[in-house]
């Protein structure tokens, strides 16, 4: 038996390759499927099954393309109703994969069709649990995403039963392979680890502690992060089907001249600049939003930009296809093309954002004449913050921008600089003329000016 995790940092998402005796199954594949095809080829195996733990809301799954190219059987658990051909397994049913079995454990709660896949080794012993969004490391899947006609409390009760009646009864040594890690909006307290064991989760996962059903429902439904707007659309795409990724490339991987880009801007197309914040700050197309590819690119694009918005890509040379692929993973397919020259060859007006290191900022003057804007999450601010700073989490900025004075300078910081440049670009796009981004964020500020940071 061979198991390999394929982890996509951009989405904090894990898919899996399971193999026995030259036969393989893929769990929760990403939309760009080459990694699975190449792995099967390298290991001289045949992909027989594509196992889906549920209808994902945070990304478009690659199950249809993978099944099309390999003749693999698409498998869902009970209550799934896809609009395409798939095998709907029964609870406790086992699928043979070489000399091992994969047992279907229906675990509703995150969604009504949520299912875990339990691997039974050659000796029929429970070995590994592919838990999808039912059980994370340090958390469980939130019950308020795709509830349909059911309340989050009803789904929370289902999740409680799934954990207590099925998951907790597994041997402590069973390895847990979750669907997501830290950074995903599918839970609120996901750990950085990408695997664990049932025994460890019983000890350290708050949701696996002994408690009443009412206590569980309250704790699991409280303080969940906001749901990105694209989640519902992605879930529907995964239920109804989607166009082949090759078709997306044909439409979107189009090189555009400066003149053609200018025409697109007049149509209302948004420029998504995927370069590093340092490059972006030195010169960008006015109105562009900066989300660096080298970070949680897809999560922030999906959180801050409408899935219906037409986009035009600015990227470092050779990374255009990567940007389009990562957008397609979350169902963003309205890309009209990309700028075919470097920004220093852009022939029209260019905008800039001033960037300063903490030792260059006169924070006393900032507090008197400017707005010091903190765009980190609530939990981060509750631990430490700059004195006199104003807090708007990045995911709320579009809706709360009216709280800021456009006539005042806005000095933006986050933890390290990634999110603050996204925020700075959004402010610029919305008419804020004087915006400064602080390099290194509060992590560097507290080293240079510890007296200006309040720690709780």
Q: Is 414 a catalytic residue?
A: yes
Q: Give tens-digit pLDDT for 223-259.
A: 777 788 888 899 999 999 998 899 999 999 999 999 9
Q: Which of 104, 105, 191, 108 is nearest to 146 (CA)?
A: 108
Inter-helix orientation angle 245-252/320-328, to 10° = 130
Residue 129 backbone phi and psi in degrees, to 5: -115, 120
pLDDT, position 190:
83
| pLDDT tens for each residue of 38-77 | 999 999 999 999 999 999 999 999 999 999 999 999 999 9
Quick one: pLDDT at residue 148? 66
**Residue-level pLDDT at 146:** 66
pLDDT of residue 405: 94
- Beta strand 115-120 with 100-106 is antiparallel
Whether the Cβ atoms of residue 66 and residue 33 lie closer than 8 Å to each other: yes
pLDDT for the residue 183 = 78
The span from the CA of 111 to the CA of 139, in Å, is 15
Kindly list the structural domains of the chain, giving each domain's residue range(s) and its CATH number in brackets, ordered by start.
2-232 (3.60.15.10), 243-345 (3.40.250.10), 354-455 (3.40.250.10)
258 in Cβ contact with 337 (< 8 Å) = no
Residues of the chain scoring pLDDT < 50 = none
Residue with tokens 């075919």: 340
Separation CA 218–CA 80 (nearest Å): 27
**List 10, 116, 186, 414, catalytic entry:** 414
CA neighbor of 261 nearest in space, from 314, 321, 306, 326: 314
Cβ neighbors of 157 (< 8 A, separation 6 or more) are: 213, 217
């Amino acid at each position: 038996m061979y198991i390999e995790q394929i982890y996509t940092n951009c989405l904090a998402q894990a898919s899996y390759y399971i193999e026995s005796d030259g036969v393989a199954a893929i769990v929760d594949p990403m939309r760009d499927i080459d990694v699975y095809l190449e792995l099967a080829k390298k290991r001289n195996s045949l992909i027989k099954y594509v196992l889906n733990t549920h209808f994902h809301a945070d990304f478009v799954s690659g199950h249809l393309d993978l099944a099309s190219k390999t003749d693999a059987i698409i498998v869902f658990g009970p209550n799934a109703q896809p609009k395409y051909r798939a095998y709907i397994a029964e609870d406790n049913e086992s699928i043979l994969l070489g000399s091992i079995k994969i047992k279907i454990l229906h675990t509703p709660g995150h969604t009504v069709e949520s299912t875990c896949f339990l691997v039974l080794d050659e000796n029929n012993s429970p070995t590994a649990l592919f838990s999808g969004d039912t059980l994370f490391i340090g958390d469980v899947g939130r019950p308020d995403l795709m509830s349909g006609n059911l309340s989050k409390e009803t789904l929370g009760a289902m999740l409680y039963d799934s954990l207590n009646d099925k998951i907790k009864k597994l041997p402590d040594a069973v390895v847990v392979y979750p669907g997501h890690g830290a950074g995903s909006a599918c839970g609120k307290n996901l750990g950085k680890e990408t695997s664990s064991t049932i025994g460890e989760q019983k000890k350290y996962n708050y949701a696996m502690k002994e408690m009443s059903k009412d206590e569980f429902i309250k704790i699991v439904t409280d303080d969940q992060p906001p749901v990105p707007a694209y989640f519902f659309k992605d879930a529907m795409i995964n239920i109804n089907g989607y166009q082949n990724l090759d078709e997306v490339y044909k439409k979107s991987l189009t090189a555009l001249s400066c003149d053609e880009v200018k025409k697109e801007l007049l149509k209302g197309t948004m420029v998504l600049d995927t370069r590093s914040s340092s490059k972006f700050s030195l010169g960008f197309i006015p109105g562009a939003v900066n989300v660096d590819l080298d970070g949680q690119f897809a999560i922030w694009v999906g959180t801050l930009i409408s899935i219906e918005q037409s986009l035009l890509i600015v990227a470092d040379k050779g990374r255009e296809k990567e940007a389009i692929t990562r957008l397609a993973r979350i169902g963003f397919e309205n890309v009209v093309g990309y700028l075919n020259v470097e920004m220093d060859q852009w022939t029209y007006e260019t905008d800039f954002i001033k960037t300063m290191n903490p030792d260059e900022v006169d924070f006393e003057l900032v507090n008197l004449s400017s707005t010091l804007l903190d765009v980190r999450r609530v939990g981060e601010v509750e631990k430490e913050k700059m004195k006199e700073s104003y807090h708007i989490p990045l995911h709320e900025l579009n809706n709360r921008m009216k709280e800021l004075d456009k006539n005042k300078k806005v000095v933006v910081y986050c933890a390290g600089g990634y999110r603050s440049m996204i925020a700075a670009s959004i402010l610029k796009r919305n008419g804020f003329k004087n915006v400064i981004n602080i390099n290194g964020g509060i992590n560097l500020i507290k080293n240079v000016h510890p007296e200006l940071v309040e720690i709780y």
